[in-house]
Structure 1
Amino acid sequence: MSETTTRPAPGAHIADPAALGLGAFALTTFVLSVVNAGIVPAKVEPVVFGLAFAYGGGAQLVAGIWEFTKGNVFGATAFCSYGAFWLSFWYLTGHTDLSGAGADLHKGLGLYLLAWGIFTLYMTVAAIRVSGAVLVVFILLTITFFLLAFGDFGNSTELTKVGGYLGLLTAIAAWYASFATVANFTFKRTVLPTFPR
């Protein structure tokens, strides 16, 4: 007589790190987007640096490593990558002397944002198979990166402001996905739908 044993999924004992990763991404994106949208003066942008290092960068990297442990390639790639984005943003804008770039600074920043837009675009394709909530985040983020990139390439404050407002929508969508993950787990039922695929 043979006995069938069911092995638990990899990392089944680990809580879903998506709530942390999405929450860290949302909050940091929200604060920077308020600056980009021109809602507060650009001179207060340094308030983002601590968030970019600790929450957007550090917390997302931790969430990404946990996603690797759970066997989630999409979550691991997304959270580790955007954690690295925020750490690079913290270093680039807060600890790098960019004065030598002169008038070409906007071209360099535009290239930086464009590259992240391209990465986000192909992650958006993969997000189609994750959930509707995550897909909305990636669609909005892709558009945000491209608007901010073209805003820098064209030295256009108007495009940057529009990118800032799209960033706010992106943050709200990511907060919703994070909140849904926490609430649905806590209440042990679907309180907020994420429209799984």
Structure 2
Amino acid sequence: MNVNTKSLMIDTATILFQQKGYKSVGLSEILRACNVTKGALYHHFPNGKEELLIACLQALNEEIMTDIEGIFRAHALSKEAIQAIIEKLIHNLETDGTITGYTFSSIVSEMATVSEPVRHACSALYENIQHIYCEKLVTEGFSNESASDIAWLMTASIEGAMMLCLTQKSTDPLKMIARRLPLLLRA
């Protein structure tokens, strides 16, 4: 029962939850995929599957935040950074057929009304993304209010475009966002 087992369970469950949805993935499937016992799962996650889901969302939060922060540091302007993020998403969708590493909307839509702790974990990730966008926009001369509004719009647009891409099996929604979103980013 080491940290590697816990990390393996989080990584494996994250992929399964993103691919199939929280409710469609049973504990036995997670245990089988990780080759661990039920005792190991409850050792690391005493409250079971929902606690594991929250750990998955927290791990996703760290991974996505690190990625977005790196992209925003590498680009002088928000519109360049947003373009880079969207291009990465399009590339992932075209090469892997999915954007599982970046989207957790299916988990939100499935669980946010059922579980307050899960809703809170999802909300925190969106707020963190918006905070990065907002800070960069303020440094570019946008007022705090405008930066906040635009950051919210950017988050909603990209997240919505990802869901449309997955349902349409097309990168067209992200490509449209890539063309239109930069028009909002003129201070």
TM-score exceeds 0.5: no
Task: Give the TM-score normalised by the residue count of structure 1.
Answer: 0.30
Task: Give the TM-score normalised by the residue count of structure 2.
Answer: 0.32
| Higher RCO (CA-CA < 8 Å; seq separation 6+) | 1
